[in-house]
Amino acid sequence: MMESMPYTQSLLAGCRAVGYHAKAAPPTVTMPRLKAMVSGAIGGFLDVALNFNTQAFLDDNLLDQLHTIGYKLVMLGDETWIKLFPTLFYRQDGVSSFYVKDTVEVDFNVSRHLESELAAKDWDALILHYLGLDHVGHIGGRQSNLMTPKLKEMDDVIRRIHAAVKSSQDSSHRTLLVVVSDHGMTEVGNHGGSSYEETDSLALFIGHSVESSYCSPYEQKEALQVDLAPTLALLFGIPIPKNNIGVLLPELFNSLTDDQKLRTLELNSWQILRLLEEQRPAFCSEDCVDSKDDFGVDMLPGSIEEKLCRLLSKAFASHRSSLLHRDSDFRSVEAAGLFGTAVDSYSGFLRHASEWLSHRATDKPLYLLVSAISLMIISCFSLAGIISCIFKGKSQIKAEHHSELDLDKHWHLDEVFILMGILIYVASLGSSSFVEEEQYIWHFLTSTLYLIFLMKTVQSMLKETNSTVVHRSEANMFRRNSSSYLASYKLTPGQQDGCKLYTVLIVLVAGRILRAWYQGGINWVHFPDISKILTQSDSSIVKSLQSISVLAVVVLYSVSLMLLRTRRILIIGLWLSHLSCGLLVMLHIWKSQVDTSTPINHSTTSIAQIFYVIASISVTCTFLLSPWIFPTHSKEAEPTSSSGSNPEKAHGLNHSVFLTGVTYTMFWCLLQLLLQQPINAIPVLLILLQIISSVIYFSLEKSLHRQWVQVVAMQFLGMTGHFGLGNTNSLASIDVAGAFIGISSYSTVLSGVLMFIITYGSPLLLYLGMVVHMSVKDSTDISTPQKWSSILNRMIALPCLLPLLINSIALTSYTIVLLLMRNHLFVWSVFSPKYLYVCAATVCTYAGVLIIAMTGAYTCAVFSFRTRNYRDKSVDQIDG
C-alpha cells in the first residue's frame, strides 16, 4: 500500500517529515482514541459502548488549552469531535462516522471546504477528519478494490495542504501539519481489539522545524498514541494536560538548543510527577527534588516509587549542573556528559512513570468490587435453589403418578459431563490463551456431549432385541401421551432409534463443518479454512450458497407448517409472508454487486426495509393469534360431567407454541441470512439443522435424557454456533457493515440493535429454537390447576432459569477472574474485551429468556381462559 501514497513517501524519504508507528491502546475505536490523543490519558473499555453515544469531554485536553489562549478552531469531518467538544469550534461541519456504507460523501463533505479554508486567515487550528478509508476497510477489508484509490485521494489531500502551507510560510507564522490515524484495522477491515494490525496507527509530522531536524528516513520509529498530547502541547507552548501519561517525542525538538530540550523534558517530568502524587499520595515531589542519590535504576531495591524518585532526582541534579556550566561559560566533555546524563535520566523517569501509570489505570475500589461480586454469588445460589425446588416438586409428582421405571435417581454420564464441562469452562476463563481461543472449549464440549448421546442411542438399539416387550409397551404409552409430531406418525421403536441415530449424526457432522469454517480464533486467524477458500474463489459460488441456504430455510418452514395438518388462514398467510421474505432476501443477495465494497445502494436498502416490515408483522401476528386458532381439547377426551374428570390433553397448546416457535426460528434465520456476511450463509443453515435435529432427537424418547440436560445441550449448541459464525473475544470480529443494512440514515439505536442481532445471532436462534423444543414434549393433562403448574414448569421455569443460572455462573466467575487479573499484562488486550462480551451475553440471555417466558405465559393464559370457557359451556349444555 506504500506505493499508493507517493507524495507522502517522498516527504519521508527526503527528510521533510518524521513518521512514527504510534501504538494505540485498546479499545481501538474512534472516540477513546481521540480522547487519548488530545488528553494523553488512557480510557476504559466502557468507552466502546459510549462510542455510539458520545458525550462532551470534560477532562483537561489540548483543544481546551488552545481555546483558552484565544486560538480559533475549525473542525471538518467526523462529528465525534463536535460531540466531544460542542462549544469549542469557531466553525464546523460534521458528518456521521457510523454509516459505513458511505465511502464517498463523507470525504467529499470535508474536501469541498479544503480550498476555502486553506485560503482563510481567520483560524489558528484546522482539524480534518476523513472517514472514507475506515469505511472502505469495514465493508471490504484491506484488500478492497477501493482501498488504493482512497489512499491516493488521501495522499492528494496531504499534497494540497502541504503546498498551501509552504506558499503561506513566513518567519512570523510557522505551520505544523500533523497526519494521524486513530487506529489500524485487521485484514477484514475491522478494529476494536488489541492485535498489532489494529493498534498500529500513524503519526506523521510535517513542518519547517521538522525539515531542519536530523532524520533517518529508513528508521522505524515507534511511539505511543498518548505521546501526541505532551508533544503538541510543548510545540504550541501550552500546558500539558494534567492527566497525560504520554512522553514527548524527542526527534521533534532537535531544532532546539540543549537548554530548551532539557526544559521540555523538565516540564513533561513535572506534569507526570504531579500525576504520580495524585495517584500515590505517599509519593512526595519534595523528596525527589532534594534527594542526593543517583544510583542506576537497575541496581535499586525497594519500590517503584523509590526508583522513580531517585531517577528524577538524578535528572534534576544533572540539569542544574548543566545550567551552572552554561553560566560559567565552561564547555567541555564533562558538560556534554552532564547534558546526556540529564536527558537519559529524564527519559528513564518518563518512560518508567508512564508505564506504571498506564497500569494504575486498571485499579478500582476493591471493596466495591468485592461487594458486587458477593451479590452476584448470592444471585447464583438463589437461582440454583429455585431450580432445586422445581426438581423436587417434579420428583414428587412422578412418585405419585409414574412407575419406578421413571424414578432413576442415579447420575447419568451426560449429566456428569455437563457439570464437569461447566467447571472446565469456568476454569478456562482464568487463562488468557483459553480466553483468546474459547471456540475450542465450546466445540469440544458440544461434540463430546453429542457423542455421549450417540453412544446412549447405540446402546439403546443394541438392547432392543432383549427388551422387545418393554420397548413396545413404552412406545405405546409414548404414542398415547405424546404430542410429538413424529409420534403422531406412529413410528416403531426401531424407526425411532434409527431417527435418533441420524439426528445425532447430523448434529455432529454439522458441528464439524462449523469447526472447519473458521479455523482459528485470535492467534490462529491466518490458518486456512473453508471461509478463506470460498472468499478467495469466484463470488458467484458464495452467492449460490447464499441462495441455497435461503431456499432451504423456506422449504423447512413449509414442511413445519405441513406437520400441523391445518389450512387455517393464519397458516397460509404465514407461509406466503415467509416465502415473500425469502424472495426479498434472494433479491437482496443478487442485487448486491460482485464486490461488496460499494457505495450506498438505495434499492437494496428498500428491499431490506420491506423485509423488516413483513417479518415484524408476521411474527407479531403469530404470537398474538396462534393461541386462539387451535382447539383447547382433544377429540378423544370430551368432558362428560360437571366434574370434568376426563383428562383434556394439551395438544392445541403444544401446536400453538410449536407454530410460534417455528415462526420465530425461521424468520430469524432469514434475518441472519440478510444481515450476516455472505460467507456465513451456510453456517446459519448448519446451526438451524442442528436445532431441528436436536428437537427431533429430544422429542422421540423421554426417558433417555432429563429436561435440564436437553436445555443445556441446546445452549451449548448456541455458543458453538456463535463462534462458528466467525465471532471471537476480540472486538475486531464485530461486523459493523451489516448493522446498516436497510438503514437509509444513521441511527444509534437501530444500528446498535442490528449489530447486536448479528453478533449474537446464534445464541438468540437457540433461545427461539427452545420455544419449538418445549412444544414437542409430552402432552399434559390440563384438567386441574396442578396440571397447569406442571405445564408452566416445563414450558417456562426450566427453559428460563437454567440459562440464567449458567450465565450467572459465567458472569460471576469471570468478574472474579477480572478482579484477580486487574494487574495482568493482558488485562486490556484480552480480559477486558472478553468481559464486554460476557456482559453482552448476559443481555442476550435475558432477551432470549424474556421471549421464552412471554410466549409461554401468554399462550398458557389464553388457553387457560379458553379452556375455562369451554368447560363452563359444556356444563351448561349438560345441565340444560
* 399 belongs to a structural domain: no
Give the span between the Cα atoms of 162 and 156, in whole angstroms.
10
Same domain for 182 and 258, yes or no, is no
Under 8 Å between Cβ of 72 and 89: no
Give the residue from 360, 379, 394 where a domain finishes.
Answer: 360
Other C-beta atoms lying within 10 Å of the C-beta of residue 810:
19
- What's the pLDDT at 646? 42
Share of the chain above pLDDT 70, in %: 79
To the question of pTM greater than 0.85 for the whole model, the response is no
- Alpha-carbon span 106 to 77, nearest angstrom: 7
Percentage helix, strand, coil for the chain under 3-state DSSP, each rounded to 5: 65, 5, 30
Q: What is the dihedral angle through the alpha carbons of 614, 615, 618, 623, rounded to the nearest 10 degrees?
A: -150
Task: Answer yes or no: do 567 and 687 share one domain.
Answer: yes
Q: Count CB-CB contacts under 10 A for residue 258.
A: 15
Same domain, 734 and 823: yes
Across 24-106, the runs of DSSP E, i.e. the strands, are: 73-78, 89-95
pLDDT of 396 > 60? The answer is no
pLDDT score for 577: 95
Angle at 564 between CA 559 and CA 568, to 5 degrees: 105
- β-bridge pairing 222-224 and 200-207: unpaired
Q: Are 262 and 188 found together in one domain?
A: no
CATH for 174: 3.40.720.10
Predicted confidence at residue 291, as pLDDT, reads 54
pLDDT band at 159 (very low <50, low <70, confident <90, very high): very high
Average pLDDT over residues 572-587: 94
* CA distances in angstroms from 416 to 393, 412, 717, listed in the order given: 22, 6, 18
What pLDDT is recorded for position 405?
40
Distance CA 799, CA 787 (A): 18
Same domain flag for 860 and 724: yes
Q: Which of 306, 396, 310 is nearest to 345 (CA)?
A: 310
Q: Are residues 454 and 500 in the same domain?
A: yes
Residue 470's pLDDT band (cuts 50, 70, 90) = very low
Answer with the residue of higher pLDDT: 217 or 109. Answer: 109
> Which of 833, 850, 778, 854 lies closest to 624 in space, CA to CA?
854
Q: Which amino acid is at 516?
A: A
CA distances from 854 to 439, 617, 625, 781, 857 (A): 31, 17, 14, 22, 5
Is 704 inside a domain boundary? yes
Number of domains in the chain: 3
Are both 695 and 739 inside the same structural domain? yes
Instruction: Report yes or no on 374 lying in a domain.
Output: no
Task: Looking at the structure, tell me whether residues 313 and 423 fall in a common domain.
Answer: no
**Grid cell 498514541 in the structure block, residue:** 225
Task: Please check the confidence at residue 107 and state whether its pLDDT lies above 60.
Answer: yes
* Domain co-membership, 132 together with 280: no
Q: Are residues 707 and 788 in the same domain?
A: yes
Name the residue range of residue 623's domain.
413-879
Query: What band does 743 get if pLDDT is binned at 50, 70 and 90?
Result: confident
**pLDDT-derived band of residue 615, with 50, 70 and 90 as boundaries?**
very high
Q: Are 694 and 825 in the same domain?
A: yes
Average pLDDT, the chain: 81
Tens-digit pLDDT profile for residues 211-265: 655 566 667 789 999 999 999 999 999 999 998 999 999 888 888 888 888 899 9
Q: Which band of pLDDT confidence, cut at 50, 70 and 90, is reported for residue 467?
A: low
Residue 396 forms part of a structural domain? no
Which is higher by pLDDT, 550 or 436? 550
Give the mean pLDDT of 25-49. Answer: 80
34 and 131 together in one domain: yes
- DSSP conformation letters of 405-470: GG---SPPHHHHHHHHHHHHHHHHTT-HHHHHTHHHHHHHHHHHHHHHHHHHHHHHHHHGGG-HHH
Three-state DSSP class for residue 640 = coil
| Better-predicted residue by pLDDT, 566 or 757 | 757
Show Cβ contacts of residue 119 under 8 Å, excluding neighbours closer than 6 positions: 164
